[in-house]
Structure 1
């Protein structure tokens, strides 16, 4: 039978020695590796509100800087060193030095600002010159016919409502002018 064999195997495993799992491995952590990174970011194009750069030479010492805009819209900059002794920040209120634009980026920015100024100038007048009378949407023949039909039906219904209201008013005046006795006989 399979069940007694399975029971005996389970019982043997429960009594197995697991003491080797209780001890931490004694291998040393790997040595630190050199690295460097940096980034600059913003909430929309052309706007920078945070910067971070960090360098490690592989000796376990990390040097870096970061900046951000605080809730009072003030730029905060922190230079720091992190080593075996801990994290050592140096706070500053000065704006961070951002990396200089390359020649191609500077040309692209200049072109962008020129186009932006041109578009802003074109849009300064109202209505916009590109929106001429001819550019406005026009109604098709079907829409013109349906609009005319709707207007005619509205006119007919309004005349009927006016006639019915006049008839009711005339009946009410007639009833008010009749003596009470005539109303009781009817």
Structure 2
């Protein structure tokens, strides 16, 4: 076995591979640099759609977004979702989204469909002076904003939190 390892280690540089850690560390640093620290943390959706007339989540549900590193995960109010993301300036690019497949009753299933459709069309993000997160989206069916507040400051009913967003 030892006689096979030595020829393989000599062949790796020829094939473009390296056993050194700095190359791996540099690659990781470059990826992290493309992720905004402003997004990091747990957020609760308080409304989506037209900025002037946000639609609140269905009563009794909590739609969340948890940005950690270059991963986004959360709840649609029924199922969990997960994806990857990168940022460049205020541009936010999401990877393919995976979800769990629990059956949801209406109107929660409609909320989930609308939220996931909006999430798939996210283009940019903005932080308000109050520390709220706005994700702007554009799909073939609609455009608008997903409005989030930090989980730590979430105070319950989305209807009460909406006026404080603007």
| Structure with the bigger percentage of helix | 1
Q: Who wins on radius of gyration, i.e. which is larger? A: 1
TM-score for both structures, normalised by structure 1: 0.19
| Structure with the bigger percentage of strand | 2
Quick one: higher RCO (CA 8 Å, sep 6+), 1 or 2? Answer: 2
